[in-house]
Structure 1
Amino acid sequence: MEDEYEWEKNGVLVGRIVLNQSGPIEFVFQVFSATPKFQALLFCFFFFLYVMILCGNTAIVWVVFTHSSLHTPMYFFLSNLSFLEICYTTTLVPLMLSNIFDNRKPISLAGCGIQMFFFVTLGGTDCFLLAVMAYDRYVAICHPLHYTLIMTQKLCIQMVAGCLCLALFLALNLTALVFTLPFCGYHRVIKHFFCDVPPVLRLACADTRIPQAVVYVVSIFLLTIPFLLISITYVFITNTILHIRSAEGRQRAFSTCSSHLTVVLIQYGCCSLVYFRPPSSSTEDEDKLLALVYTFVTPLLNPIIYTLRNKDVKNALKKVVTSTR
């Protein structure tokens, strides 16, 4: 038995999907546009951004790993952040690119659950790691004499491992809860470009109030608590910087924090708009646009911001370029 689903935009038919009702549960993505010329343009644009994300973040990981001058806690966390961005975008973008041209390509229930699990795990680890990076800046600026005693290699590794384990725990429980819900009929068409939590919850043919409440709780752990910790940390950092007598010293201290703050505001701002808004006040198109920001913009800006505003990374990259000539 097959069920046909059509969707329109401004009264014009832009897509048609046929779902097999008798087979295993599958989802189909309604990505962007059914116009061939526009599809080709979108594919080239997103593929270019994806390549830039891979190149930029890989460069940071490689430079930090190969230059002993960058073997410090700050750059250790930065290289881990870049590695997370590589894994994070690779979880989402290749499948999205394949669906730009073929809107009928399905994803299995298990495949959708796996993608959601890795997305939440890597995104959550990213958020926790940003809070850890704020703590690193706090110790470096507010307690510079004790920095090397506090931020030991063992502690840095434990912090990164803790971020990953906590994110794994939250992602596993959230994904398991979402995919215990029943999905039936044409409600298996995901109006998104990946298996994000809100669009998948909209497809469930059951009461989603409890899963939605769990989403809010998980979002508090992943977004609100780390953001509050970052905010408190920067209150102490700002107070310390303002007491620095030399203008040059204040400028250097601010410059080490401005890059991190820029990434934090973009990341937490967009994610909060998606996961804290009630379902009735949000639309699929709005969620899709915001998801594009934390799927492409943030991972692309990370290497750009940290290289353009960081003299140590720029000098290391220059050495690499000059040595290859």
Structure 2
Amino acid sequence: RSPWRRMAPTNSSFVTEFILLGLTDLPDLQLPLFCLFLVMYVVTVLGNLGFITLIGLNSHLHTPMYYFLFNLSFIDLCYSSVFTPKMLIHFTSKKNIISYRGCMTQLYFFCFFAISECYVLTSMAYDRYVAICNPLLYHVAMSPKVCSSLMLGSYLKAFLGAIAHTGRRMLRLTFCDANTINHYLCDILPLLQLSCTSTYVNELLVLIVVGINVIVPSVTILVTYGFILSSILRISSTEGRSKAFSTCSSHMVAVSLFFGSGAFMYLKPSSAGSMDEGKISSVFYTNVVPLMNPFIYSLRNKDIKLAVRKTLGRRVF
């Protein structure tokens, strides 16, 4: 560490604003990227709002699986709105400036919704496990009280994880001179690279919190799907196996995209070169996953197609 990192005070910040470098600094790519991400954001908002509306208006979708999908769509809608508008502004302006408070607020909500999504995806895996492995106990094991408790636990863990990163450690760092963030949002790792005080505890905290909130849920999901797969293979009818596979495959695609890109960003040593690679991988869990989730869960879903027909039928009538 440099002498500045050892001598700088740890309870104040000299930097009052940050400059976000964005996804790329190539002028010719700014307009095409603006159009691409604007379309992606509009589709994300419309897709997730549509999913929330469909589930809310159709009583046959008031089941545990769609209760979790409702929350997933709500999280994706909020999650993408935390940073995408600021990202779009960068493509149309020479400098993308964000205040210190704005940066810490963005970091908090980014962590909160990202961790929430981890545990909602885990809850959905548990729901599929009970539905396929213990169908006779499904209504007991997935009662409204159990579902509410799972969601409350997800949001509570997200709150604690976000507080651990922002309130407990990030606000105690000092940013003396460097204020250019090599990212399109206020993320943990690029902020740590700017600090002029020791970031050892923060880096350790990133490994612990990300390890708990990425590795534990992903291992839980893998083990759960191991049991699900063994149960599916024991189903005698081809139609039954096909139906069980179709209900699980969409969830596994969403899990792979989200956890895979998140692990690539956070569970490796950070450097300037790796941060450039990390920005590309972060596009998947920040923009692509919220965009794709409504389509992943609706393309082969007969219940959703029925809900669309009923809702449109009511509107026409």
Residue of structure 2 equivalent to 1:135: 126
Contact 2:15 2:175 in 1 (8 A): no
Report how far residue 128 of structure 1 moved.
0.6
For 1:114, give the aligned amino acid. Answer: T
Report how far residue 209 of structure 1 moved.
1.9
Looking at structure 1, the residues matched to 253 and 292 of structure 2 have their Cα atoms a distance apart, in angstroms, of: 9
1:157-183: CA deviations, max 9, x gaps? Answer: 111011001110011011121231111
Looking at structure 2, the residues matched to 56 and 236 of structure 1 have their Cα atoms a distance apart, in angstroms, of: 32
Q: Unaligned 5+ residue runs, structure 1?
A: 1-21
Residue of structure 1 equivalent to 2:259: 268
Report how far residue 39 of structure 1 moved.
1.8
The secondary structure found in structure 2 opposite 1:203 is: coil
Matched, 1:203 2:194: yes
Q: Given the superposition, is the C-alpha separation of residues 230 and 35 from structure 1 closer, same or farther in structure 2, using an over 3 Å criterion?
A: closer
Looking at structure 2, the residues matched to 280 and 24 of structure 1 have their Cα atoms a distance apart, in angstroms, of: 22
Task: Identify the structure with bigger relative contact order (alpha carbons < 8 Å, sequence gap 6+).
Answer: 2
Report how far residue 283 of structure 1 moved.
2.1
Which of 294, 302, 310 is the aligned partner of 2:293?
302
Matched, 1:122 2:113: yes
Moved more, 256-265 or 149-158: 149-158
Residue of structure 2 equivalent to 1:321: 312
Q: Given the superposition, is the C-alpha separation of residues 106 and 280 from structure 1 closer, same or farther in structure 2, using an over 3 Å criterion?
A: closer
What does residue range 1-325 of structure 1 map to in structure 2 within 5 Å?
Answer: 25-34=16-25, 37-176=28-167, 177-185=169-177, 187-280=178-271, 283-325=274-316
Normalising by structure 2, report the TM-score: 0.92
The secondary structure found in structure 1 opposite 2:197 is: coil
Q: Given the superposition, is the C-alpha separation of residues 103 and 128 from structure 1 closer, same or farther in structure 2, using an over 3 Å criterion?
A: farther
Looking at structure 2, the residues matched to 225 and 34 of structure 1 have their Cα atoms a distance apart, in angstroms, of: 37
Looking at structure 2, the residues matched to 34 and 197 of structure 1 have their Cα atoms a distance apart, in angstroms, of: 21
Looking at structure 2, the residues matched to 37 and 281 of structure 1 have their Cα atoms a distance apart, in angstroms, of: 23
For 1:134, give the aligned amino acid. Answer: A
Report how far residue 322 of structure 1 moved.
3.7
Report how far residue 34 of structure 1 moved.
4.9
For 1:190, give the aligned amino acid. Answer: I
Report how far residue 36 of structure 1 moved.
5.1
Looking at structure 1, the residues matched to 134 and 275 of structure 2 have their Cα atoms a distance apart, in angstroms, of: 46
Looking at structure 2, the residues matched to 145 and 281 of structure 1 have their Cα atoms a distance apart, in angstroms, of: 53
Looking at structure 2, the residues matched to 301 and 256 of structure 1 have their Cα atoms a distance apart, in angstroms, of: 16
1:221-261: CA deviations, max 9, x gaps? Answer: 11000011111111111111111110100111111100000
The secondary structure found in structure 1 opposite 2:172 is: coil
The secondary structure found in structure 1 opposite 2:19 is: strand
For 1:115, give the aligned amino acid. Answer: Q
The secondary structure found in structure 1 opposite 2:260 is: helix
